[in-house]
Amino acid sequence: MGKKRVHLDNYKKENKQKIFNVILETGKISRKNIAKQTALSSASVTLIVDELINEKYIKEIGTSPSTGGRSQKLLGVNRAMGCNISFLINESHIYAGNVTASLDVGNIVIRKVKHLPIEDILNVIVEIFSQFKKNNNISSVSIGVRLPESFKNSRVSISTSLSADFITVDEALRFMLGVPVIIERGVNFAALGEAHNRNQKENICFLDLDGEIQLGGVPSLPVEHVAHMKVADEGEICSCGKIGCLNTFVSSEQIIENLKTELNEPDLTWYLISEAYQDSSSNVSDVINKVSRYLGKGIVNISTLLSPSLFIIGGDISKLDKIEEKVEQNVRNFGYYELDDLEVQISNAGKNVFFIGGAKMFLLNVFKM
């Protein structure tokens, strides 16, 4: 008996999530159309929708224009369910954004955390959380990192009134924050955020060029080592000890390093690069053309395996005017005919896509937590 009960509970949770996700994705929708889109009976939809309204996840937000038949009440996400704080943690910084249930980004906080031990990083997270909590109702936290499993399972010592115990980061965060926490690859958050902003549901790749390059997607990708994809038999020695890795040609840091050497300009910044890039005769332009070529090769290799319909490039490279056309041209040159329809775009939303994606990933799984 006990086991059967668990199955039924899970089944109900899944349907609840299914209905909530349809409401989240459409913005506003009638009960009748929810039933159509989820293939659930209208009786189930009515029951679950009532429950979601009572629990303040959704609310009625107007009526549909009547088209012959009866006009219908429309349902949307209820902002009263509270905000999510999305964190993005990389080698040098923590970025945090406050995101409403309707996925609007409010305040943003940035802290330097270079060389800090994990205990101190957790303290920074708690400090930022408390700061946001003063003025907002915070109901969840999303944390984007490079390697979620190793981050979650690192052990930290926390002192309680009784003793100092070693627990996992995952446990420590839940204990210290007191709200549900989701920890994922940050670059998958970014892909989901871009998908949301562009109203495209899935089949998206997102390649982040800042730091060691990383690949994310919708649906989420587990690919960890795209930085070391081979695209040449020349170039700088990579952090992995080999040559020809994609990272040594296209990561933001490497682009700057390569240009510093090439131009003998130790103080080069992205601002100066984008200025010089406007002048198509400059050396900068030559170096960037090479970047576009290797980026094109990398995108073709990734897309041959994953067949996305949209490929988005993120990072400081977005500061370069018209880079998107150049990269796309190289994708056409290197890619086989099936990739002719692949769209390549540059992300211009900065860190906001990480925050939006983090909050959305939580909401899409809120009843499974």
**Which residues in this chain contact Zn ion in the complex, by CB under 5 A?**
228, 238, 240, 245
What is the nearest approach in angstroms of Zn ion to the Cβ of residue 249? 11
Dig out the tokens for 336 from the structure: 């086989």
Please give the torsion angle defined by the CA atoms of residues 187, 189, 192 and 196, in that order, rounded to the nearest 10 degrees.
-130
Dig out the tokens for 270 from the structure: 């992205």
**Residue 183 vs 231, nearer CB to Zn ion:** 231
The DSSP letter of residue 163 is -
What is the nearest approach in angstroms of Zn ion to the Cβ of residue 255? 16
Peptide bond into 219 cis (omega under 30): yes
Q: How far is CA 57 from the centre of its chain?
A: 23
**Residue 226 vs 245, nearer CB to Zn ion:** 245
- The whole-angstrom separation of Cα 293 and Cα 334 is 9
Measured CA angle at 366 (ends 22, 175), to 5 deg: 165
**Residue 228 vs 326, nearer CB to Zn ion:** 228
- The whole-angstrom separation of Cα 317 and Cα 294 is 14
**Residue 190 vs 227, nearer CB to Zn ion:** 227
What is the nearest approach in angstroms of Zn ion to the Cβ of residue 244? 8
**Residue 155 vs 225, nearer CB to Zn ion:** 225
What is the nearest approach in angstroms of Zn ion to the Cβ of residue 230? 8
Residue 19 half-sphere exposure toward CB, CA atoms < 13 A: 28
Q: Name the one residue in this structure whose structure tokens are 């050396």.
A: 283
**Residue 129 vs 249, nearer CB to Zn ion:** 249
Element (H, E) at 22: helix 2-26
What is the nearest approach in angstroms of Zn ion to the Cβ of residue 147? 16
Dig out the tokens for 226 from the structure: 């795209």
Please give the torsion angle defined by the CA atoms of residues 67, 72, 73 and 75, in that order, rounded to the nearest 10 degrees.
-80
What is the nearest approach in angstroms of Zn ion to the Cβ of residue 121? 26
What is the nearest approach in angstroms of Zn ion to the Cβ of residue 228? 4
Measured CA angle at 6 (ends 3, 7), to 5 deg: 90
Q: Name the one residue in this structure whose structure tokens are 């040594």.
A: 248
Dig out the tokens for 280 from the structure: 């198509």
- The whole-angstrom separation of Cα 215 and Cα 12 is 34
**Residue 188 vs 254, nearer CB to Zn ion:** 254
What is the nearest approach in angstroms of Zn ion to the Cβ of residue 273? 24
**Residue 143 vs 245, nearer CB to Zn ion:** 245
